[in-house]
Structure 1
Amino acid sequence: MKVPPTTTALVPMFTRRFLYTLIIPLVIEQFLAVTIGMADTVMVASAGEISVSAISLVDSITILIVQLFAAFATGGAVVASQYLGRRDYASANSAAKQLLVLSLTVSTALLLLCIPFRRQIINFIFGSIEEGVLTKGSTYFLYILLSLPFLAAYNACAALFRSMGNSKVSLWVSVVMNLVNIGGNAYFIFVLQLGVVGAGLATLISRILGALIILVLIAGPNNQISIRNYRKLEWHWEMIKRILHIGIPNGVEGSVFQIGKLLVQGFIAAFGTASLAANAISGSVASFVNIPGGAIGLASITIIGQAIGAKKPEQAVHYAKKLILIAYLSMAFISIPVFFFAPQVVAIFNLSAEATNLASNVLRSAMIFTITFWPTAFSLPNFLRAAGDAKYTMGVSMFSMWFFRVGMSYFLAIILNWGIYGVWTGMYIDWVSRSIFFIHRFAKGKWKTIHVI
């Protein structure tokens, strides 16, 4: 709950309790997403290698699409948060409705465009693959495409609840969706033996249910932001432009980042199975460590956005420093034990001796750079986006991704023959580069003068 406004600018806008109730559910939600995602993969694996390969290929494509919806959601949440900070609730509601209209329009357009050509899309992206994988991938892709409008609606409404400071709603709806997905997989794959059709059905049903629940909840009259009349979802271009001002740079940045990651993973494939396995395990463990930093980044949209909307840049600076400190402390709390017990952690995955040694070394180096550079490289830019400085973060991210993560990875791994160590070193250089640019931008303060609303 917010502290009542006073005449003293130094009085904090948010209580400590408010910060905890915003951040902790976000951490739990992301943790559940990773763990339940792993359980989902294990269940699907029972359908056979061809099915797993087909689902994996389609998931690689849908990650790019999900990035687009997440970008729109971020844009809408930033605009809504700034209006809430200004206490302009009518405009916040208008922004919320336009975010939903935009998300549903784009997702429906993608659905209609991609369904007839889904087989060709898979073939174009991945080249010549086995006929069985292509056929099953096309089948699974159909269900994923059908689920896009529901996923878009969920992402939009979840972002709006977070902009109000209520992250518990997205947590519980996410739990319901994931449990339905797991239960659906169990029934459709194990009982009915439907394979990729079962996996697709479970995903579709879980997203339909999640969208319906959160659309009912966002219509609640007690919400600061409420969308009550779904039959009157008009298109207001001026508000859409405000959302796209944040959403387009954020979407381009996220998509380019995913493409760069795919390219770098291609480098590792040249070093053999042990390197591929070591990279996969190191990345999975590192994703757990990064969860608090990711949650801080999401929370900052609400906190920094409302402070900027209230025209209190000094509050934005105050909370940005507090949030980055929380990110460092929470990530260090996880990183330090992982560093010391890296061999034991890797041993859980029962890899070969070579892969275990590679993964242990990579994981230890990752923990060192995580507790020194990850928060400023990935949490801090979200503070800038919340203020509307999305074009700058996009420019830095694209430059650093292609010049350092991709370019240096290729030079170190392929040219100098450092193997997997070269790829991860290139990634660390990328983190350092991002940190330098974002810290400089934050310190200079130009982000405080950008106008979104």
Structure 2
Amino acid sequence: MYLSIASNTINIIGNLIGVFVLHEGVAGVAYPSLLARTFSAVVITVLCFQKKNEVFYRYKWIFQWDKDLMKQILKIAIPNGMENGVFQLVKVALSGIVALFGTYQIAANGVAQTIWSLAALAGIAMGPVFVTVIGQCMGNGDIKAADDYFKKLTRITLLLSSAWNLLIFVLTPLFMRFYALEPETKQLVIQLVLIHNLFNAAAYSFSGAFSNGLRAAGDVKFTMYVSVISTIAVRLLLSWLLGVILQMGVIGIAIAMVCDWVVRAAILIWRQKSGKWKTFRVI
């Protein structure tokens, strides 16, 4: 969580300096993003080799080849990679849809997305917690503990995410002082952040962090199918319908996004309650 906060802080401060101090335009946004991600990659790599950790890397393992273990890993990695790949492609398509709208809507969407990335930190930070705890429980064959921790971690995620999203929404007017925006644009940013933060606290806690628990249990294919189908059928198509056809603009894009979260959350909650995830074994 601390690493995520530090990385996003570097990104946000870098964006402000790059755009408003150095006047680098788009490059002022791109370079801080590269710097933030490089910082995270370096820090997490160094931490992975720390021998004081219960689990750590050894240099001699890097070039070792274990066919059976690789097959086990790829069963998880490939579905996750496909899921992330589709998501990034849809993001590109959504950027094209947003480009069809007026200048003030494009500006509002850009500012809102920066604030969204900060508001989403709590839910994103809880994702690795689900992976670690549920993964260890399932690895030990303690299904009851995994079931109990699903409930406990979900409650923690909901509380943490709700408090964090509320805080970010309250601070949104302060954030917008750093942007030279027209009153109409500022009002639209507030509306976008409100829509995002309400559902990020409630629905994304399940469609995001909660889904990582199912992946840790080995239920990766189902979560991939749900994510890919929902991203395309709900987020992308609904964005076109609401944003372009019904002329709701970026508000329609935001509504489509939260509808995607709600649909995924409902399906994943049903999946967890069905107990099917208890039958998988990763390694």
Same fold per TM (> 0.5)? yes
Task: Say how many residue pairs are matched.
Answer: 281
**1:384–1:393 CA contact under 8 A, matched in 2:** yes
Q: 1:50 to 1:443 in 2, by over 3 A?
A: closer
**2:72–2:282 CA contact under 8 A, matched in 1:** yes
Residue 300 of structure 1 is aligned with which of 120, 127, 130? Answer: 130
**2:4–2:125 CA contact under 8 A, matched in 1:** yes
Deviation at 1:298, TM superposition (A): 0.9
Question: Distance in 2 between the 1:279 and 1:250 partners?
Answer: 28
1:242 partner letter: Q
Q: 1:232 to 1:290 in 2, by over 3 A?
A: closer
Deviations 1:289-320 (A, max 9, x none): 21111111111111000000111111011111
Q: 1:227 to 1:342 in 2, by over 3 A?
A: closer
* Counterpart for residue 29 of structure 1: 3
* Counterpart for residue 274 of structure 2: 444
1:228-247 to 2 correspondences below 5 Å: 228-230=58-60, 233-247=63-77
Secondary structure of the corresponding residue to residue 230 of structure 1: helix
Question: Distance in 2 between the 1:347 and 1:232 partners?
Answer: 48
Q: 1:307 to 1:208 in 2, by over 3 A?
A: closer
Residue 139 of structure 2 is aligned with which of 309, 317, 322? Answer: 309
Identity of aligned residues (%): 30
Question: Distance in 1 between the 2:28 and 2:259 partners?
Answer: 33
**1:274–1:355 CA contact under 8 A, matched in 2:** yes
Question: Distance in 2 between the 1:363 and 1:211 partners?
Answer: 30
- Does 2:255 align with 1:255? no
**1:346–1:360 CA contact under 8 A, matched in 2:** no
Q: 1:225 to 1:349 in 2, by over 3 A?
A: same
Q: 1:289 to 1:43 in 2, by over 3 A?
A: closer
**1:409–1:423 CA contact under 8 A, matched in 2:** yes
Unaligned regions of 5+ residues in structure 1, if any? Answer: 1-25, 60-143, 145-176, 182-202
Q: 1:250 to 1:212 in 2, by over 3 A?
A: closer
1:39 partner letter: I
Q: 1:50 to 1:412 in 2, by over 3 A?
A: closer
Question: Distance in 2 between the 1:43 and 1:369 partners?
Answer: 31
Question: Distance in 2 between the 1:354 and 1:448 partners?
Answer: 51
- Does 2:225 align with 1:389? no
2:14 partner letter: D
Deviation at 1:38, TM superposition (A): 2.1
Question: Distance in 2 between the 1:208 and 1:312 partners?
Answer: 32
Deviations 1:201-259 (A, max 9, x none): xx5xx6896587446x34x2x54334445287321111011111111101111111121
Q: 1:335 to 1:226 in 2, by over 3 A?
A: closer
Residue 12 of structure 2 is aligned with which of 38, 53, 56? Answer: 38
**1:342–1:364 CA contact under 8 A, matched in 2:** no
For the pair shown, which has the larger CA radius of gyration, 1 or 2?
Answer: 1
Question: Distance in 1 between the 2:233 and 2:26 partners?
Answer: 36
Question: Distance in 2 between the 1:360 and 1:386 partners?
Answer: 36
**1:269–1:275 CA contact under 8 A, matched in 2:** no
**1:286–1:363 CA contact under 8 A, matched in 2:** yes
1:30 partner letter: S
1:43-54 to 2 correspondences below 5 Å: 43-45=17-19, 46=22, 48-49=24-25, 51-52=27-28
Q: 1:262 to 1:313 in 2, by over 3 A?
A: same
1:74-113 to 2 correspondences below 5 Å: none
Question: Distance in 2 between the 1:397 and 1:231 partners?
Answer: 33
* Counterpart for residue 335 of structure 1: 165
Question: Distance in 1 between the 2:166 and 2:41 partners?
Answer: 40
Question: Distance in 2 between the 1:450 and 1:409 partners?
Answer: 35
* Counterpart for residue 240 of structure 2: 410
TM-score (norm 1): 0.57
Deviations 1:144-182 (A, max 9, x none): 8xxxxxxxxxxxxxxxxxxxxxxxxxxxxxxxx96xx9x
* Counterpart for residue 54 of structure 2: 224
1:33 partner letter: S
**2:17–2:28 CA contact under 8 A, matched in 1:** no
1:442 partner letter: Q
Deviation at 1:352, TM superposition (A): 1.4
- Does 2:272 align with 1:429? no
